[in-house]
A = this chain, B = another copy of it.
Amino acid sequence: MATSERKKREYAQRETLIIDTARDLLLKIGYIDLNMERIAELTEYSKGTIYQHFSCKEEILVEMLIQSAQKCGTFLIRGSQFKGTPRERVAAMILGYDLFVRLNPDHFKSKLLLQNESIRGKASPVFQKNLEKAEQENIGLVYGVLREAVESGHVQLQRGVTIEEITFGLWTGTFGAYVLMFSEVNLKALGISDPRKAVWANIHALLDGFGWHPFFQELNWEQTRNRILNEIFSQESHLAGIV
């Protein structure tokens, strides 16, 4: 069945086209004004065809986020492979995440929207499950490095704290910061001129606070940061313009 293979390919291509179009449109006109009619126009397909792929705009957003979460995963994996201590590898993952977010501004736009159950709930359950799975896999990558850190004795878990909870701290500290950065909260007016610098300081204070060796003071982090960017994310850091 050579033809049916081609059909499948064409279907997948069209899906990509729809998502890419929706992504552009989302960044350009925002969620409220985003509509299926316009997506149909721009893709040069009819509304009916668009609805054959996605049941509503929210479902397109979910699929968009699934794809970007998977892409995000590749950045996390690359970060985790940095040659260094577990703490440096976690730092590399966080830097990778930052680069990913910089290069994929649509990620947080759709993420923020779908954080709302009413909006996410419009997508069909299959899509929602897939999204949950994609995001859990990414968290799993962080767990992996933390587990190694505990096993190698770089961190001693104290007072019943679990690696899941430490990950939660890293997660909320970075994710929360991006939510704020991406929502036009006036951080400048609040004295936060460089939120990324603040995140970096906070993440390291957190890890220091959990007694994770080597402590912030014990390492030249400026150097480590440059090594991470050069060795792992050379191309991306140039693309993002952080040299």
A interface list, Cβ under 8 A from B = 29-33, 109, 112-113, 115-122, 132, 135-136, 139, 143, 159, 161-162, 164-166, 168-169, 171-177, 179-180, 182-187, 189-192, 195, 197-199, 201-202, 204-210, 216
Contact = CB atoms under 8 A, between A and B. Distances in A.
Nearest to A26: B118
A171 B190 CA distance: 12
Contacts of A192: 164-165, 168
B172 A176 contact: yes
A109 B171 CA distance: 20
Contacts of A207: 209
Nearest to A169: B202
Contact of A32 (B118, B135, B197): B118
A72 to B, nearest CB: 15
Contacts of A139: 190
Contacts of A209: 204-210, 216
Contacts of A197: 165
**Which A-B residue pairs are the 9 nearest by beta carbons?**
A176-B176, A30-B118, A205-B209, A209-B209, A172-B176, A169-B202, A164-B191, A208-B209, A115-B183
A139 B132 CA distance: 32
Given A190-B136, A208-B209, A202 B112 contact: no
A241 B61 CA distance: 38
Contact of A30 (B117, B171, B201): B117
Contact of A113 (B116, B166, B175, B205): B116
